[in-house]
A and B are shown apart, each in its own frame.
Chain A
Amino acid sequence: MTESVQVTGAAAADRGGVAVRLEGLRRRFGAVQALDGLDLDLAPGELVALLGPSGCGKTTALRVLAGLEDTDEGRVLVGGRDITTLPANRRDMGMVFQAYSLFPHLTAQENVEFGLRLRRRQAGDRRRRAAEMLELVGIGKHAGRYPHQLSGGQQQRVALARALAIEPQVLLLDEPLSALDAKVRVQLRDEIRRIQVEVGITTLFVTHDQEEALAVADRVGVMRDGRLEQLGPPSEVYLRPATPFVADFVGLSNRLPGRVVNGAVEVLGARLPLIDPLAAPTGEVTALVRPEAVDVVVDPDGPGRILAASFLGSMSRATVAMPGDVLVVAQVASARLGELTPGTAVRVALHEVPTPLA
């Protein structure tokens, strides 16, 4: 593993997960290049989240690792062993699908036992292990239920238990939360992380939800057009997006007109440092500024006017119209909504954080 790989999960090395390496993967479906030379390393026990819009190749990458999809080029190595041509059923990987992957004719318990049954484990052994797994995912009391008697979140818990029961080398999570309600999603997301750390298994997690990726992963890889745009710890990806695409994808950004002068960008009267000063062009540019990096100050002489303010919970969002048809979205505390009624004159102040350009 290279030095830059930081494993923040406490479990990391001590449980001794296995290293995974994807090397120069290419895969074409008709006219679509789903994977275009993807390289990715997972340290033992690490959870890497692949993030990206639909069609970016993240699911294909996961399915290639699982052996459910062929590659046109490239290699898959697990624990240093080349398994590129190994069929899926001999790869020893636990997989959790988006939804509906439980066998409907088996109870939760029987679903979890399934992989062990295929491995011809003793009945008693099997039952014990399955019960243990169901307990681990917090669903022990529903062991006798059939999938259609379980909620979506419970089904995914069973699916996780089933994947883990066979003590796989690698855990693959293919958008396991995307079919669930927002609340259940957050709950289960945190639990997946807890279990993954507890078991210490190398995990690839595919999602299109940036919040989810940032919340659970040791490292996040943002994908676009079959390649990684950026790979790094969540804080790095969030605070220092390597490309405008990443900046855009990892959080709602304002696109504001600015000028590059002396290695910094001037936006709405503020001078902001650049993320990558060397690569920046000079002159007129578009800077990407996060809503939480914008302060709104009520000022009767301010150039801006509140256009709209929307309540989103503890934080709210205000849209400010600035001269020259520039709209700025700012994140504000909901307590301030009273003073930020539409039409109020304001000025905006931008935080001096490293800023990417579009």
Chain B
Amino acid sequence: MAGLTLGQAPTRRGRPSARRARRQRLFRWVVVAVLAVFFLLPLFAMLEFTTRGAGGKLSFDTWKLLFNWGQLSQTYPDLSAGITASAGLVVLTVALMLVLLVPTVIWVRLRLPGLRRVVEFICLLPLTIPAIVLVVGLAPVYAWVTYFLGGSSLTLTFAYTILVLPYAYRAVDAGLSAIDVRTLAEAARSLGAGWGTVMWRVVLPNIRSAVLSAAFLTVALVLGEFTLASLLNRSNVQVAINLLGKSSATMSVAVSLAALVLAFVLLLLLSLVGRGRRRAQEETS
């Protein structure tokens, strides 16, 4: 729009704001273009690498194999086991996060506002404890987990829930900050709702998109997790990729790209969810 009017207007040299706009546009496109090359090159390279056939020809064999589950689990049993474990971990971790974190955060807002800072501190604590440190402390805890629940990779759920706490907390907290929880709760209580009803029927529906973003972030994080899985001697898709890298680089690059695209789609959906909600609010106001 600005460009059009600039073009039509009688161009008078020395008009300061027009000159600045032009300078900024040039700067913008140079920066974006240079960085776009840096960020897109590895992605393109991955695609090229996985479609490199014998004699320099294009070949989609790797991708065909990746999407042929039966054959894949025969050829690379470790990989398919890792994928299965990651899928299970995604479901379990999202569930545990939803059950454990969301009600607690709402409850603290409603009934224990004095504890809000404490809960926030706890939830953000994992940010200052690198995963590699956490794994050192988790090793003895997981000895007990293995004792009680066995050594299944799915037990990683507990540790992963800790890892996603900061991200999920911030998402849910932002959602709660955007609504007036106190007034909503008081309104509902004055209409005869119990605390359970307030949380489940009043507050939760109002922070649906925040909970959804917490879930999306959890999925993205769990899909990319490597440190805990590898050092607690369990398996997931990242561990499998790493292992596979030593024998079949092409396949591990292909799985990497697929995981990345999946995360991309998830987080893109996330930003769409957020914006759809915002737009709806703008339209009603």
Residues of B contacting A72 with CB < 8 Å? 9-10
User: With A29-B5, A30-B5 as given contacts, are A70 and B10 in contact (CB-CB < 8 Å)?
Assistant: no
Interface 1/0 per residue, B5-20 and A, CB below 8 Å: 1000110101111100
Residues of B within 8 A of A85 (CB): 12, 14-15
Q: Kindly report which residue of chain B lies nearest to residue A29, judged by CB atoms.
A: B5
With the chains together, A68 CA to B5 CA distance in Å? 17
Q: Are B12 and A69 in contact (CB under 8 A)?
A: no
B-chain residues with CB within 8 Å of residue A87 when the two chains form the complex? 14, 16
Among A29, A30, A69, A73, contact of B17 (Cβ-Cβ < 8 Å): A69
Q: Report yes or no: A68 in contact with B12, Cβ–Cβ below 8 A.
A: no
Asked if B26 is at the interface of the complex by the 8 Å CB criterion, the answer is no
Beta-carbon contact of A68 and B14 below 8 Å:
no
- Among the listed A28, A30, A70, A73, which residue makes an inter-chain contact with B15, where contact means beta carbons less than 8 Å apart? A70
**How many residues from A make CB contacts under 8 Å with B?**
12
**Docked complex Cα distance between A85 and B4 (Å):** 21
A87 to B1: give the CA distance in the assembly, Å: 23
The reply to whether B14 and A70 form a contact with Cβ atoms under 8 Å apart is no
User: Which of A29, A67, A70, A87 has the most CB atoms of chain B within a 10 A radius of its CB?
Assistant: A70
B5–A28 CB distance below 8 A: yes
* Nearest chain B CB to A289 CB, angstrom units: 35
Are B17 and A70 closer than 8 Å at their CB atoms? yes
Q: Closest CB of chain A to B21's CB: distance in Å?
A: 10
A-side contacts of B12, CB under 8 Å: 70, 85
Report the bound CA distance from A72 to B11 in whole Å: 9
Neighbouring A residues of B5 by C-beta, 8 Å: 28-30
Q: Does A88 contact B (CB under 8 A)?
A: yes
Residues from 10 to 36 in B contacting A, C-beta threshold 8 Å: 10, 12, 14-18
B9 vs chain A, min Cβ distance (A): 5
Q: A29-B5, A30-B1, A30-B5 are in contact. Are A67 and B10 (CB under 8 A)?
A: no
Instruction: Please state if B10 and A68 are interface contacts (CB–CB under 8 Å).
Output: no
Q: Decide: A68 and B17 in contact? CB cutoff 8 A.
A: yes
Interface string of A68-82 (1 = CB under 8 A from B): 111011000000000
- Shortest Cβ gap from B81 to chain A (Å): 56
CB-based nearest A residue for B16: A87
Q: Report Cα–Cα, A70/B14, bound state, in Å.
A: 10
What A residues does B15 contact at CB under 8 A? 70, 85
- A88 with B1, Cβ < 8 A, contacts A72-B9, A72-B10 known: no
**How long is the Cα–Cα vector from A88 to B19 in the complex, in angstroms?**
13
Within residues 54 to 69 of chain A, which ones have a CB less than 8 A from any CB in chain B?
Answer: 67-69
In the bound complex, residues from chain B placing their C-beta under 8 Å from that of A69 are 17
**Which residues in A have their C-beta under 8 angstroms from that of B16?**
67, 87-88
Residue of A nearest to B17 (CB): A70
List chain A residues, Cβ under 8 A from B17.
Answer: 68-70
CA distance A26 to B17 in the complex (A): 16
**Nearest CB in chain B to that of A89: its residue:** B16
Minimum CB–CB distance from B152 to chain A (whole Å) comes to: 54
Whole-angstrom CA separation of A88 from B20 in the bound complex? 13
Residue of A nearest to B13 (CB): A85
**Roughly how many angstroms separate A30 CA and B3 CA in the complex, as a whole number?**
10
- A180 to B163, alpha carbons, bound, how many Å? 46
A226 to chain B, nearest CB (A): 15
In the bound assembly, the distance between CA atoms of A73 and B5 in angstroms comes to 13
Return B63 CB to nearest CB of chain A, in Å. 47
**A residues within 8 A CB of B10?**
72-73
Provide the residues of chain B in CB contact with A30, threshold 8 Å: 1, 4-5
Q: Which residues of B contact A28 (CB under 8 A)?
A: 5
Q: In the complex, A30→B1 CA distance in Å?
A: 7
Most chain A CB neighbours (cut-off 10 Å) among B9, B10, B18: B9
Q: Give me 13 other A-B pairs in contact (C-beta within 8 A), A30-B5, A85-B14 excluded.
A: A28-B5, A29-B5, A30-B4, A68-B17, A70-B12, A70-B15, A70-B17, A70-B18, A72-B10, A73-B10, A87-B14, A87-B16, A88-B16
Q: List 6 A-B pairs, minimum CB-CB distance, nearest first.
A: A87-B16, A70-B15, A72-B9, A85-B14, A30-B1, A70-B17
Q: List 22 A-B contacts (CB under 8 A).
A: A28-B5, A29-B5, A30-B1, A30-B4, A30-B5, A67-B16, A68-B17, A69-B17, A70-B9, A70-B12, A70-B15, A70-B17, A70-B18, A72-B9, A72-B10, A73-B10, A85-B12, A85-B14, A85-B15, A87-B14, A87-B16, A88-B16
Query: Hey, which bits of chain A sit against chain B, CB under 8 A?
Result: 28-30, 67-70, 72-73, 85, 87-88
